[in-house]
Amino acid sequence: MERETHYFWAVRIPDDVKQAIHDELTQIKSIFPFKRWVNLNDYHITLAFLGSVPPQKRPSVIRLVGDAMKSQKAFMLEIEGLNVFGPPKSPRVFWGAVNEEKQLFQLQEIVHKTCVAAGFSLDTRPYHPHITLARKWGGNEDFKMADLVTHNPFKEKILSFQVSEIVLYKSNLESTPKYESIAAFSLLN
């Protein structure tokens, strides 16, 4: 059975920052034994998850989001720390936290509203920007929330980057990396 292909809009993280994140994680992986670590080339910050998109619908959503991006300006973000989603003793997602930059929330709102106007039904939960780093706790002992603070590599080494491009990614779940860029739009400098 073939898996359904999904699409999502996301902030592209620069390659040098992806590598820096990966390098920091390599030093703490033994403390956080998650079962599946995300390939560094797949690091991103999701803006809107579209799900499966019929081929005839792709050109219009690409055009509409591209038009909406024409007046959007680039801005800076910082990776601030680590966190998890899911049960505190056995989390399902390990993620990198970014600072709550107002422009990121505005950008997400524009992309979200544009996709809804293009006919997509999107998640209505509050936006929680993050970089997924690993999935499924695999430790023999319960996960310890205190380790997120004690072993946070980003409290000493601040990683900042310019958000200068958003991308429509396609999921190829059987490939590594999993995400393929379908369309990209630069933000104004």
Q: Which of 6, 22, 130, 151 is catalytic?
A: 130
What's the CA gap between 65 and 63, in Å, rounded? 6
130 is catalytic: yes
Q: Which of 22, 44, 112, 128 is catalytic?
A: 44
β-bridge pairing 93-98 and 7-12 = unpaired
Taking the CA atoms of residue 51, residue 54, residue 57 and residue 59 in that order, the dihedral angle to the nearest 10 degrees is 90
Q: Which residues contact 177 (CB under 8 A, 6 or more apart)?
A: 39, 41, 42
151 is catalytic: no
Residues known to be catalytic: 44, 130
